[in-house]
A and B are shown apart, each in its own frame.
Chain A
Amino acid sequence: MKKLNYFLAALLGLSLQVAEAQTPKGSVLIKNATVITVTNGNLENSDVLVQDGIIKQIGQNLNAPSGVQTIDATGKYLMPGIIDAHSHVGLDVVNEATSPIVAEVRMKDVVNPYEVGLYRALAGGVTISHAMHGSANVVGGQNATLKHRWGSSDPADIIMQDAPRTIKFALGENPTRVHGRGNGIQPRSRMGVEAILRNGFNEALQYKKAWETYNAAKSQKGNTMVAPEYDERLQTLVDILDGKIIIHCHSYRADEIYMLINVAKDFGISKLVFQHTNEGFKVAPEIAQYTMGASVFADWWAYKFEVYYSTAFNAAILQRNGAITSINSDSAELIRHLYHEAAKTQRYGGLTDEEALAMITINPAKQLGIDDKVGSLEVGKQADMVIFEGHPLSSYAVPQMTFVDGIKYFDIKTDKDDQRQRVSPTEMVEEVMLTEENHRCMQDTEFLFETANALFHTNH
């Protein structure tokens, strides 16, 4: 009998383990660093103790429990892992460009854990990226928030499972070019973009009502009602209306930003973040008042007409007007030096160190709905951290080590140069790419355009 109990207990334990297939979590003590908490100032000569992937203690003269590795970071800076709120790294495909609304598609289905860009992001201190659908559609697909647990071959391991759902929207030139000019259907103009949104949400409300009517009738005696046909696209729009999904909207011009704020107000939507937002500075008070802020480039402009009237002071103006502001990459190249991009807010607008660093840590965490878990160095948070040689806002700063959940995934001193996990067996000689495609917002829409080369050089 006793034996049987042990056996059952063992079985139970086993099944529990299977049920919570765990990603690796580490323990480490980092000593004598300048700890940049982001939310609670800087702590000189301080230690951070991580156990099982969680920050357990921040202070001085901490001791490592037995078996826990100690890393001496004397003279170095320790900051929270950098979070990129706009990326396409680690995705096999980016756009499902076949309809102005494709809310049903999910980037979680196309995550590619082998992409060496994930490691290169880690080498720039980035621990979390928001792997987004492209900008070909007014309502694009649902994005995936990735944790850069480099080395796993299982896409599920690099998806941040405890992050809330987000979805891509896009306004302006890209959706109007793809659908209006590419396919000859609405939207061809910014008027059409608004109509697509309002029509879509109204259809979703009718769909929701049909299900509510059916569900109410179902419990009635003698009900003969037939269930409405399930529609993943409309159900996703309903989930947006119900506040279950955060909108991340590709946008450039002030008029279209203002339009979406009005649409969101009319439909009671408050979970809204603007992406790129080059003219956000013109409607900064509205963005601050009604949305979860803007995620912007530090200094990109003039690559297409809708960003011609931009300013590198955009982030500073948004910040000073009280909008939650983050700096993103949208680029496999830029993602590697977001600390430097954030520093540009000091040249263009004189932001403080704290404000600048918040734009690549706690602010994007807020916009992704994960600020209770990551984005600052606080006891109880997940131990995503970077050690820098030099202050991270200095142009001469060099990231040294990057940790996700307390596990070290990048070490400048010991990592091998070639980080490929998979080499094509048919590849005779490795390809040399002169201009590696950095910007993939419009990837997978090539089939719509004859002059694809010209388009993909410049369109984000």
Chain B
Amino acid sequence: MIATILWLGFVVFGGRSIGDQPTPIGMSSGELLWTIVIAANWILDLSGVAWLVSPRIPRWGGPRLQRRLASAIRYELMIGISVLALIPIFWMVSTSLKTLPETYEVEPYLLLPREPQWGNYPFLFTFERFNVLQLFKNTSLMTVFNLVANVGIASFVGYGFARLRFPGRNLLFLLVLSSLMVPFIVRIIPLFVLFSGNTYILQDQLGQVFSWTIFFESRSWAQNTYLPLVVPEFFGAAGSSALYIFIMRQYFLTIPHELIEAGRVDGASEFAIWRRIVLPQATPAMVAVAILSLQGSWGAFIEPLIFLRKVDLHTLSIWLSSFRSVQGESVIQWQYGMAGGVLVTLPVFILFLLFQRYFIAGISLSGIKG
């Protein structure tokens, strides 16, 4: 694995041709050399793991050497896999700084731009077809609404399921979880009908959905609004609401019984107990839900795609997907697509760096990404 990385570094810094002599199997000698080194490295790695794991192979060298070897192999694999995980991200950033001709250059293949084109980023905001600033505004607004909705409703309903006894509670909670099984498309089609009023929608538009230039004006009251993207979240009935309710419930179960009892003895209403005693204790879970919700809405794709059919209502993810549209231009402007990708990813990355702990806690509690 290390050899793979070395080789990659080698390629990046332009030292590909250490040997250009032809060999009988069709590779140049340099390529052959690298291939052998990488293969040998992998064989060593795998046999090292096998040696450490298998009881059949005789041990030598004592426990200390074995431990050293084990951590060496572990580090090597961890580094190698990091490279695999990070290469596409590197490639995105690198491409975003290239010029259009550079993205299409093959000989020599450019892993890094000759000169970083920082201007690609401001250029994104000057597109005619998409007002990117507007898209940022739309997406953030939707994200914030959904965040408030999800945190509020999940902590409210979650408390009911966690700390209040009422008949049918377990059955209803099972129903909450089972709604995770309902395919999103089953929810979306009726939602679409519900929010389209009846009707005119889509005349003359058949077959135009793939081409991103033509979007239509709607005449019905709720068509082309954010309502179908936001309203279900306020009722805990969006795709991942059940997870958020689950996360909050699990957390509320850990709050000491005495605290709640004390509130009841003081004659506080359950609402006051929830608001004044329980919520302040539940910040970590609320942050986890907030982050998962934020990440989910920020990158939401299919719902905006279906409900928002006017270009100035679009979200960032729809804009990004248009860079791949097959029927659009013949030349795909990869550098802008990648720059857009960086712009859209950056906020969530920063958030991740700040709140990594909550992210991970939320995911290991819920099991699914938002």
Whether both chains belong to one complex is answered with no
